[in-house]
Amino acid sequence: MVELVETPIPDLVVLRLELHEDSRGWFKENWQREKMLAAGLPDFGPVQNNMSLNAHRGATRGIHTEPWDKLVSVATGRVFAAWVDMRQGPSFGEVFYLEMGPDTAVFVPRGVGNSYQALEDGTVYSYLVNDHWRPGINYPALHLGDPTCAIPWPIPLAEAEISEKDHANPTLDAVTPVAPKRTLIIGANGQLGRALHDQFPDADLVDLVADTPRGVAALDASDASALAAVPWRDYSVVLNAAAYTAVDAAETNDGRVAAWTANATAPALLALAADEHGFTLVHYSSEYVFDGTRELHTEDEPLSPLGVYAQSKAAGDVAVGTVRRHYLLRTSWVVGEGRNFVRTMRDLANRGVSPAVVDDQVGRLTFTSELARATAHLLSTRAEFGTYNVTNGGEPMTWFDVAAEVYARSGRARDDVARTTTAAYADGKDLAPRPQHSVLNLTKLEATGFVPEPALRTLARYLETLSES
């Protein structure tokens, strides 16, 4: 049985471990992933286990703020352990301490300084960490006797065994706080990428083509060597908004290659990086991964893509689904900044054109602002990792319904839009197959506390922005 106890330092938790004792001594599960995750410990992905022997009572180490998460525990003996939050934010300088024996472990998040004092000869202290130690790593350290923190060491520091290096550590007023890990947006030039930047204004931005005035750097996410040069450990979240979305062009020889490169190869490489470096990968998919024979699509529906674009997106979904920390957001009928169906209908209405629009494909609009808002919600609430359907709310509509609504809100009559069928519209054209039913079930998303805004409400606001531009 593992019991987690929260502390005044955010995300620093104490674990009470079960010791199985008999005449020979004791046995404990120092790290048991399944049980500890069930108890509420984050899945921090440890890769290295370090041990420290403290030969004499009074040996004192720290306060060190290595750039990784760790689970610390005592193999034998006892320690007085103390932690100081050295992260940017309101908890900077917060102190927590306790006495530890073999029955206690503590999860220490990145940016929190760790220290301890051996209370018995032959004490062994263990560190389970989620990054490899390498020479030359610099990190903040704090003087053990810092007067602001005022840690009540049981053995006075004047009588303790302390290294020269730790004697030289600065006081808290001279420590540069540890900056939080950052967010990276891939595909920042696209309509979704721009909406994500509005939601995450401090994020780093990359795309296939650089946009220097906007601060967008060039990165080909399908190039393994280019990805290898990215400092992934600096990021806690990577939002992959890059995609090839030319559904019909994907059916051509060149388009097929481009679609698979952007929609399958790049997500697969990002999936490998996410698991290696421990960041959360957010990837955006499409209802096109389904053939549209079901009227309502749930997250667990088997993949059944029809065309090349759909097949490439489905391949990306499979790759991202293997990542420990991932959100796969499946959406439909996306509208945002730039060219899209709503803008096209608005332009036609303003020009006096009366189009024929298909009335046998059913779905919901998804505005990029709503998709970005849902992304922020899932991340901030730490919702369970996995796949989520994300669209605007309200009653499902056909493309004809959307067009008629745009016309009505543009001062034109609804019957200025004519109805047609998918088959009639496609006659004589080289078009990719499209799902007839694109409505996504939003129950799982709503269960996280997210309330999708009705599509018509967002549509009205979007059309107002078009009028102003």
Average pLDDT of the chain to the nearest whole number: 95
- CA pair distance 62, 60, nearest whole angstrom: 7
56 labelled catalytic: no
- Spatial distance between the Cα atoms of 46 and 31, rounded to a whole number of angstroms: 10
Average pLDDT over residues 27-56: 91
CA-derived radius of gyration, the chain: 28
Question: Is pLDDT at 90 greater than 80 in this prediction?
Answer: yes
pLDDT at position 469 is 65
Res. 467: pLDDT tops 90: no
Query: Of 369, 367, 344, 368, nearest to 357 (Cα)?
Result: 344
Q: What pLDDT does residue 210 have?
A: 95
pLDDT at residue number 338: 85
Lowest mean pLDDT among 45-49, 157-161, 363-367: 45-49
Share of the chain above pLDDT 70, in %: 100
2 contacts 73 by C-beta, under 8 angstroms: no
Rounded Cα distance, 373 and 109, in Å? 27
In the predicted structure, residue 182 carries a pLDDT above the cut 90: yes
Whether 235 is catalytic is: no
pLDDT band at 354 (very low <50, low <70, confident <90, very high): very high
Number of separate helices (H) and strands (E) present in the chain: 13, 25
Residues paired with 185 in a beta bridge: 205, 239
Cα 136 to Cα 66, 68, 139, 303: the distances in Å are: 12, 15, 10, 47
- Return the closest-CA partner of residue 153 out of 104, 103, 118, 109: 118
Residue 249 near residue 256 (C-beta atoms within 8 A): no
Q: What mean pLDDT is predicted for residues 204-227?
A: 96
For domain 182-468, the question of CATH label 3.40.50.720 is answered with yes
For residue 83, the tally of other CB atoms under 10 A from its CB is 28
What mean pLDDT comes out for the span 193-215? 96
Q: How many other C-beta atoms are found inside a 10 Å radius of the C-beta of residue 161? A: 16
Cα 194 from Cα 357, distance rounded (Å): 28
Instruction: Give the HSE-up count for residue 291: Cα atoms under 13 Å, Cβ half-sphere.
Output: 5
Task: Please work out, in degrees rounded to the nearest 5, the angle formed at the alpha carbon of residue 65 by the alpha carbons of 64 and 67.
Answer: 135
Task: For residues 270-283, give the mean pLDDT.
Answer: 95
Handedness of CA 285, 286, 290, 294 (dihedral sign): positive
Which of 212, 325, 310, 296 has the alpha carbon at shortest distance from 264? Answer: 310
- Please give the average per-residue pLDDT across 436-441, as a whole number: 97
Q: For residue 23, name the pLDDT band (cuts at 50, 70, 90).
A: confident
Higher local confidence (pLDDT), 134 or 287: 287
Domain residues of the chain, as ranges? 3-174, 182-468
| Banded pLDDT at 194 (limits 50, 70, 90) | very high
For residue 151, the model assigns a pLDDT of 98
Residue type, 338: G
Mean pLDDT to the nearest integer, 388-410: 97
Q: What is the mean pLDDT of residues 198-217?
A: 96
Q: Does residue 24 register a pLDDT over 90?
A: no
The pLDDT of residue 131: 87
For the entire predicted model, the pTM comes to 0.88
DSSP label at 91? T
> For residue 259, is pLDDT > 70?
yes
From the candidates 97, 127, 244, 462, give the one annotated as an active-site residue. 127
User: Which pLDDT belongs to residue 1?
Assistant: 79
Cα-based distances in Å from 329 to 48, 204, 290, 440: 32, 21, 14, 11
Is pLDDT above 80 for 300?
A: yes
Query: Which of 24-28, 66-70, 341-345, 390-394 bottoms out in mean pLDDT, i.e. has the lowest?
Result: 24-28
Tell whether the torsion through CA atoms of 176, 178, 180 and 186 is positive or negative: positive
Angle in degrees, 0-180, between the axes of helices 308-320 and 266-277, rounded to the nearest 10: 10
Condensed to tens digits (0 to 9), the pLDDT of residues 111-159 reads 999 999 999 999 999 999 988 887 878 889 999 999 999 999 999 999 9
Under 8 Å CB-to-CB from 443, ≥6 apart: which residues? 298
At 282, the pLDDT band (50, 70, 90 cuts) reads very high
> Residue 376 carries which DSSP code?
H
∠ CA 208-214-216, nearest 5°, is 30
Q: Which whole number is the average pLDDT over 372-394? A: 97
For 62, other C-beta atoms within 10 Å of its C-beta total 22
Tokens 């996306």 label which residue? 334
To 10 degrees, the CA torsion angle through 256, 259, 263, 264? 30
**Overall fold of domain 3-174:** Jelly Rolls (2.60.120)
